[in-house]
Amino acid sequence: MISCSDFMAEIGNYLEGDLAAEVRVQLENHLAHCQICHVVVDSTRKTLQIVTDTGSFDLPETVSKPITERVMARIREAKR
């Protein structure tokens, strides 16, 4: 079983679908049992959607990636 901090370390990759299949399975198993991470994934996904939707164009990878990282950094700070 992975821990919440393991999950948080991979959440950016998880949301971007940038994971090995076996890692994704582990994260999804954790997500199924952990309400905290479930909420974090949910709100992060919504935040990213809002950020992306308010742009009048599709954000290129180079722009959207730092946004993910900024959201992640904020979550990590909130957890401290």
DSSP state of 56: S
| Beta carbons of 42 and 7 less than 8 angstroms apart | no
Window 1-40: residues binding Zn ion (CB under 5 A) = 4, 7, 34, 36-37
Min dist. Cβ of residue 35 to Zn ion (A)? 8
Q: What angle do CA 3, 24, 75 make, to 5 degrees?
A: 50
Asked whether position 71 contacts Zn ion by CB under 5 A, the answer is no
Nearer to Zn ion, 4 or 25 (CB): 4
Nearer to Zn ion, 15 or 34 (CB): 34
How many other CB atoms are there within 10 angstroms of residue 64's CB atom?
A: 16
Binding site for Zn ion (CB under 5 A): 4, 7, 34, 36-37
